[in-house]
Structure 1
Amino acid sequence: MLLAACGNTSDTDKSKTEPAKEKTLTDAMGKVTIPADTKNILAPYMEDSLVALGITPAAQWSIGASVLDYLQKDLKDVPKISWDLPLEQTIEANPDLIIFSSSASIQKGQYEEYKKIAPTYVFKNEDSSDWKKQLEIMGQITGKEKEAKDKLAEYQEKTKKASEDIKQAIGSQSAAMIWIAGDQYYLFESTRFAGNVLYGDLGVAQPEMVKKLPVPKASWQPLSLESLSELDADHLFLISKPGETGLKKLQQSSVFKGLKASKQGNVYNMEDPSHWTINGVIANELTIDQITTSLTK
């Protein structure tokens, strides 16, 4: 009995303490071996997934001084690395794993050079563009499969409650979102970033102008200020950093004053565009919170 007990204890302890093992996965470039216990991970513009899984990246994506503002609570002390991952900066970051969102995101065709620095995983386009799939795969890469599954379940519960609260507050009324950058105006399509959250996850009705937008292209297509006069939304989110020239121009225009949402006092100013214009579970959760607060107050 003593031997049996010791044997059982040994098996249990082994299952609890068995070290992580390296794994071989298939990515956009073929086969890649992921080392066990990766500590320093570079995943430019995919930090949302890492942070959601409790992982602090070795360095964070940046363009000059610009970073993903909505993640700075978690990343404020993390060094920046240029968006195009220069080889010298990459070496200085000392990664033991590099992750790219697509083969197109690897600048100057330097895939082989990155592989010499650290094992390099390259997402397939269809996987990285679907943030849920991206999170699942990131969980596989980092050995955080359970955390990814739990996070997705939490998100589903959050959207379910938020959609119920919003429906109770505004019924079948519609909403739209305009991103203002400089003096350019971008109306969110139903499948673009926060548009997918508003219309897809939360089930808010689309105004006719949004329904009639052309199929989204890779790059955003700006609209003229005059064309926005056709926006028949009951509620309107203006997504812009404070002080953008286009924001003041819009708010002072007769077009804006004539909008249904403006006349009814249903315009909401969102001052941090960073989580509205990216795909990711943390970004979407912040967007849901702000949409819910605005529409149910």
Structure 2
Amino acid sequence: MTQGRRVLVTGGASGLGAALVEAFAARGDRVVSTDLAGADLKLDVTSDDDWERARDWVEEQWGGLDVLVNNAGIAAGGRIDVAGFDEWQRGIEINLYGVVRGCRTFVPMMKRQEGGHIVNTASMAGLVHPPAMAPYTAAKAGVVAMSESLHFELSPWRIKVQAVCPSYFRTNLASSFSGADPVPAVMIGRLVDKSPLGAEDIAAEVIAGMETDDPLILTDEVGRVAYRDKHADPDTYRKQQHGYGAKIRALTDSAETPNHTSQETDR
């Protein structure tokens, strides 16, 4: 296993990002953590200027980059007639275009090096698409699709690209949800709270998955089963998702408060 890689992680101050920083450092890599605050470098993934400063730092301090982890993201979601267009724009700007900016910033450097590794944090929501989550699933599906395209596009330069698709795990992601629709926030919060997995478990699976040539890193059994069943048993998958849609309709018709919504969702 190659030691001492030069690694940059976005969204590295908390959650999965912080766990990844620790996991890379534990294996002997040199890691720079970036985030809006509380990290080694300040990096707003929506800012071209911040990305340029991060690239300049890498060039000055390390002379190159071996691993780019585009991990920064926010929770998003909402019914199509409830979530505002501004919510769609913010989610896509951070969750999708933030990844695009990271790749565009560091791919030229990696091409000059004739090698590199890009890991893009997507989500199981990029592969399995539940109702009332379209602003999130659309962005994360975009990350999955882009990562697969780049996996093949950049392979002649010996640059590997992978998308990480965890299902729900215990993290602070739900706290970043600030949308107008309470339904997805409640759904996300309940699923996160019930998960037996923490960020450190997902980070360990990411490190292991980077040793494979699969464009997808599926980090947990729940996600692997959901992805497999969507393709192996599409009738059951559709029935399940229609059921979630019906539950959302019932909640809408009952005009429940968010607290009542939590009780209904848990049934």
> With structure 2 as the length reference, what TM-score do the two structures score?
0.30
- Counting helix residues as a fraction of each chain, which structure ranks higher? 2
> With structure 1 as the length reference, what TM-score do the two structures score?
0.28
* Bigger RCO (CA 8 Å, 6+ sep): 2
Q: Which of structures 1 and 2 has the bigger CA Rg?
A: 1
